[in-house]
Structure 1
Amino acid sequence: MDADDPLLRILACPLDKGPLTLLSEQNILYNPRLQLSYPIVDGIPQLLPSSGSRVTEDDHATYLRAAAE
């Protein structure tokens, strides 16, 4: 999945229904509001609520910096 993929405009977090940020280096979709990451496996986003992983404060800061670049 790449940043220009039109699918990114319609994908949403299954919990708060808000937009997700693609972090291609980490191969995840990230929800900074809930600090949850969702894996992308073989190009397919895993967006079940149980697939979300809570991230640490350090990872959250790293992901925010990566998203701003």
Structure 2
Amino acid sequence: MTLSPDLLAILACPEDKGPLYYVQDEDLLYNPRLTRAYRIHDDIPVMLVEEADTLDDDEHRRLVSLIESSGIEPTFER
């Protein structure tokens, strides 16, 4: 199941309040500015900073490449 467009339109990183990228195939919302991934469990985004995964450089580059090649848009524009 995918997250609804209405929900995505209001989701922001709880730490820097910026937009996220919804990587549906990996069930996560990604903040490339902080290299932080917020997991989605049972179709519910877990938007707690202390529950987020901070990614290493290789995983960050992989996700950014995936986002760019898939044309994934941010949840909102600043």
**1:64 corresponds to:** 64
SS at match of 1:61: helix
Instruction: Using structure 2 for the length normalisation, give the TM-score.
Output: 0.80
Q: CA deviation at 1:4?
A: 6.0
Structure 2: runs of 5+ lacking an equivalent: 71-78
SS at match of 1:25: helix
Q: 2:64, 2:3 → 1: CA distance?
A: 16
Q: CA deviation at 1:51?
A: 1.3
Identity score, percent: 39
**1:11 corresponds to:** 11
**2:29 corresponds to:** 29
Could you list the structure 1 runs, at least 4 aligned residues long, displaced by more than 6 angstroms after superposition: none
Q: CA deviation at 1:24?
A: 1.1
Matches within 5 A, 1:39-58: 39-58=39-58
Larger relative contact order, structure 1 or 2 (CA cutoff 8 Å, min sep 6): 2
One-letter amino acid of the counterpart of residue 15, structure 1: E
Report the RMSD for the aligned CA atoms in angstroms: 1.4
SS at match of 2:16: coil
Q: CA deviation at 1:6?
A: 2.1
Q: How many residues are aligned here? A: 69
Structure 1: runs of 5+ lacking an equivalent: none
